[in-house]
Structure 1
Amino acid sequence: MAERPHHRPMMPGDQLFAELESGADPLLLQEAADRAAALLVRGARASDDAGVAERVVHLAETEGLEVLAELWSGSPADSLAGALWRLYLLRDWVHRAPQEVAAEYEAGRGAAPFARVVAGVADPPGAEELKAMVDQVLRGIAGSDFADVLYRAAAFAHVVAVGRAILTQRSDAPHQEVPRMLTLAEQLEAAARLEMRGELA
């Protein structure tokens, strides 16, 4: 029996989405999405390459958020791929609207002290501090327990949801994004619990 040639395992940033093709069979795309998610989370943590964490943080910029959306946005929230999509969506929003995020976080942090502590945002929570925090959270995909990453992101989203609700009450203006942010927080926390039990796949 001939020996199979040895291939170096693909790591994040090394053509991670090479299998993604527009118009491909949805089932094959989902399989590729799941494989890419597992590689990103499990492979990054196993790597001794110091640059992996930075590639993980900036994945949406190097690959394009629309590529991540095509790959992962249809994945269930209680899956590895679905959790990753929500993390990158959260990071993208923080970097696109840091002043808005800072105002909402500031409004909510007094009313959600436990979540504020878990999120681990510098005090005072300005725009740059929030961008640094969300990048640090994503770096954790490669360098720390993935459940901790999800719990921190969930806590952050929870504080923002509380802040949005408070600002909405103050302005008497309906804000349809409050339930969505709260749902995001709940989904990330549920994914963290699954990860703790070794059931997030």
Structure 2
Amino acid sequence: MTREHMRPVLQPSTSFDWIIGSDEAGAAHRLAQETSWALLDRVRGGTDPAVVERVVGLAAGEGLHDVAELWAGQSAHSLAGVLWRLYLLRRVADADPAGVADQYRRGVSVAHTIDPVVAGAAEPVTPGSVIELCDTILRGVFTGDLGAALDRAASYCRVMALGAADLADTRDAHDDAHAAELTTRALRYSAFAQELSAGARRWRDGTLA
């Protein structure tokens, strides 16, 4: 899919230092746009699988801090914003793989939609299979149809939201504070699902910023 967007302009490092620390309105947004589209174009335009794996691996390494500085504040109307959400989903799974797998399984057990099929975690669902699912979604961004990857991520989030809500219900009688935390988590996953679905639509109609 083609899209008209700002091409990155190579600048000396001193210029980038100024932009990142600048108070100029819109400077951070422009830099986020340029870096996200440059990364997508470069990786999708290449043929080296090792490059794809390095980009996917940012979610599990220290490089995520650099990504966060550039993209974490961007809205889901932008490529930087949706990419950041995908990296964040992967980091959450890496931080608590057993808990995330349990939540996903619970979500699948109460889902009455095709979301578990669309998300497509390998059975049986284990901590490793959920992490691999998040990696596969990220690979799809850089090697396949970005819209399909975002739709898949949205389905994953809807399953996770159901799982968190189910856990909250079981905790209500035992730990009010934990139940409230799980309810908040369910709402966040639901919001991510809506944002990623919208991002997929924008990618397809060429309006993703």
Structure-2-length-normalised TM-score? 0.82
Where 2:168 maps in the other structure, the secondary structure is helix
Q: CA deviation at 1:152?
A: 0.9
Of residues 10, 22, 25, the one that matches 1:24 is 22
Alignment of 1:162 with 2:162, yes or no, is yes
Deviations 1:86-145 (A, max 9, x none): 011111001111111001100011222411001010011110011111111111122101
Structure 1: gaps of 5 or more residues = 1-8, 11-16
Identical aligned pairs, as a percentage? 38
8 Å CA contact 2:60–2:91 kept in 1: the answer is no
Q: Tell me, in whole angstroms, the C-alpha distance in 1 between the residues paired with 2:14 and 2:118.
A: 36
Which residue identity is paired with 1:149?
A
Which residue identity is paired with 2:27?
L
Where 2:77 maps in the other structure, the secondary structure is coil
Q: Tell me, in whole angstroms, the C-alpha distance in 2 between the residues paired with 1:160 and 1:76.
A: 21
Which residue identity is paired with 2:49?
A
1:32-51 correspondence runs (5 A): 32-51=31-50
8 Å CA contact 2:60–2:90 kept in 1: the answer is no
Q: Compute the RMSD of aligned alpha carbons.
A: 2.2
Where 1:110 maps in the other structure, the secondary structure is helix
Which residue identity is paired with 1:24?
S
Q: Tell me, in whole angstroms, the C-alpha distance in 2 between the residues paired with 1:99 and 1:93.
A: 11
Where 2:49 maps in the other structure, the secondary structure is coil
Which residue identity is paired with 1:51?
A
Which residue identity is paired with 2:190?
L
- Total equivalences in the alignment: 187
1:3-14 correspondence runs (5 A): none
Structure 2: gaps of 5 or more residues = 1-6, 173-178
Q: CA deviation at 1:32?
A: 1.6
Answer with 23-32 or 48-57: which moved more.
23-32
Query: 1:76 — aligned with what?
Result: 75
Query: 2:54 — aligned with what?
Result: 55
Q: Tell me, in whole angstroms, the C-alpha distance in 2 between the residues paired with 1:117 and 1:19.
A: 47
Deviations 1:176-196 (A, max 9, x none): 211111101111111011112
Query: 1:123 — aligned with what?
Result: 123
Structure-1-length-normalised TM-score? 0.85
Q: Tell me, in whole angstroms, the C-alpha distance in 1 between the residues paired with 2:109 and 2:77.
A: 29
